[in-house]
Structure 1
Amino acid sequence: MTPPRFILDKSAHNPDADMWFAQPAGFTTIPFRALLNPADSPAAKALRQALAPILDSLNDELARQQFLAHLAQGQRLLAILAEAGTTRCAIGLHRDDVSGTAKGSLLFSLFTVSWRDISPAAPAATAARAVAGAEGHTNIAYLELPCGPASFSETVRTPTADSGLPQDPVLQVFAHLPHPDGRRLVVLTLGTTAVNRRTEYRSLLHQIAENVSFEDPLLELAALTKAGGRSRPPRG
């Protein structure tokens, strides 16, 4: 059996990282912090310069205004995510290869990583408490993962009419992973309008969670290699 291949993102070498994980193929990370800089900042100026060729390529003023309106809406949504503690956001694009009427169509999803500060507690208690009484959540499960205890849940919601979003049901699958320090909780969320592919997206998020590590796997691998041992490929 061919071992899985991993491409290391530069963030894997960040000495201030709090967790490591493997992002599956088909997901493109959004540098959303770069989209939320103050308008008069150098970073915002660099973004405008980067977008200039795109705006220049549009045929008319209406198309340019529509592009800018969509960009502004996206920035508002990203700002909401940032306020909620989101530190990573990625868009998933996959071809539907499951038998059925939708086979061959493109499936879109949104993957986020968010942090929450919590009252000090044992990780097992935190995992249980994260979904206890969660309104509208189903398929609740508790698992012991390599990184520690975790809880999973999912829900289907429809955006409100005043949100400005399409009124399509959205499936959200959650993984709640307590940090070993007992003071923080990381929440992995996978959202999609492909509600009929609930089983596949649930399995995908479970696989992501299983590869989470709160200890630098690269240091572990280096130590084992130096000692002449073997380890599975790094996960982060």
Structure 2
Amino acid sequence: MIDDTARDPSSKIWYALPAGFFGIPIDALDPEPGTEQETRLEQALALVLDLAPEDQRDRYTGALRDVRFMAAQMRSEGVIACSLGMHYADDGSSASSVFTVALRDIDWAPAKITAVRAASLRESGENVGLLTLPGGRPASICDTMITMPALAGIPSQDLYQCNLYVPAPSGTQLGVLTLSSTAVGSRKHYRDMMEGIAHTVSFYDPMPEIERAVRGDTADGTSSIADDIASDFG
């Protein structure tokens, strides 16, 4: 399935996600003040609150406020896309995750140096690995475990986080793809999945090439295309 965003002429980075992820419109959740988008958001939130049980109205109001704050925070940190994932872990339990994509401007450097530097300089980053993507492009991956402090009504819990760093061909931008999940027992599956996602990252529109391959118009005369990313969660 090809998401509509793949055909967005304003896109700056392309990637494929396995089944089980759905996009969150962070731009729509953090509109510019005074715009039509803000008016529509306010109307939508008012509708949600009208449908909320009277004794839980304050709880819903707080949750919606937190969602808007998180969207604004992500955008301020350069996040341009966000998706929520839901899969089944090996033990049959559900494993939820958050996947984000950020595009950062950087000083020019050879791509391999940028990839290694980005992963090695990450605070508390572990298991740093260098990847070779299609076309011989370098990328890096690292992951770590973070202990989240206890909050009001929420106990302390461990969080698994995996980061991909993919330098753009220009050498002046860096794609940062991050997956976070409290399903720490599935960390190996998530790391394998992120490595699969890395091989789909592109900084130019891949759709014409994909469509030619689907039609069987590949350069070598074959009709095969790269295997779909498969989640290890069943």
Structure 1: runs of 5 or more not aligned = 1-6
Secondary structure, aligned partner of 1:150: strand
Identity percentage of aligned residues: 35
1:129 pairs with 2:117: yes
Q: How many residues align?
A: 224
Residue 52 (structure 1) shift? 3.6
Please point out which of 14, 19, 24 is paired with 2:8.
14
- Give the structure 2 partner of residue 219 of structure 1: 208
Q: Distance in 1 between matches of 2:35 and 2:46?
A: 17
1:146 pairs with 2:134: yes
Structure 2: runs of 5 or more not aligned = 229-234
Q: Distance in 1 between matches of 2:150 and 2:98?
A: 21
Decide whether the 8 Å contact of 1:154 with 1:173 is kept in 2: yes
Decide whether the 8 Å contact of 1:152 with 1:173 is kept in 2: yes
Q: CA RMSD for the aligned pairs? A: 2.6
In structure 2, relative to structure 1, the CA distance for the partners of 1:146 and 1:208 (3 Å cut) is same
Secondary structure, aligned partner of 1:158: strand
In structure 2, relative to structure 1, the CA distance for the partners of 1:163 and 1:136 (3 Å cut) is farther
Decide whether the 8 Å contact of 1:178 with 1:185 is kept in 2: yes
Residue 221 (structure 1) shift? 4.0
In structure 2, relative to structure 1, the CA distance for the partners of 1:80 and 1:52 (3 Å cut) is closer
Decide whether the 8 Å contact of 1:217 with 1:234 is kept in 2: no
Deviations along 1:147-183, one digit per CA (max 9) or x if unpaired, are: 6100000111223567997531211100100000000
TM-score by length of 1: 0.84
Residue 119 (structure 1) shift? 0.7
Deviations along 1:91-131, one digit per CA (max 9) or x if unpaired, are: 111122x1xxxx22221100000011111011111111112
In structure 2, relative to structure 1, the CA distance for the partners of 1:157 and 1:163 (3 Å cut) is farther
Counterpart of 1:115, as a letter, is L
- Give the structure 2 partner of residue 32 of structure 1: 26
Decide whether the 8 Å contact of 2:150 with 2:157 is kept in 1: no
Counterpart of 2:96, as a letter, is F
Alignment of 1:80-229 (within 5 A): 80-96=73-89, 98=90, 103-146=91-134, 148-160=137-149, 167-221=156-210, 229=221
More displaced 10-residue stretch of structure 1: 119-128 or 181-190 = 119-128
TM-score by length of 2: 0.85
Decide whether the 8 Å contact of 2:52 with 2:60 is kept in 1: no
Secondary structure, aligned partner of 2:12: coil
Q: Distance in 2 between matches of 1:180 and 1:38?
A: 32
Q: Distance in 2 between matches of 1:157 and 1:56?
A: 38
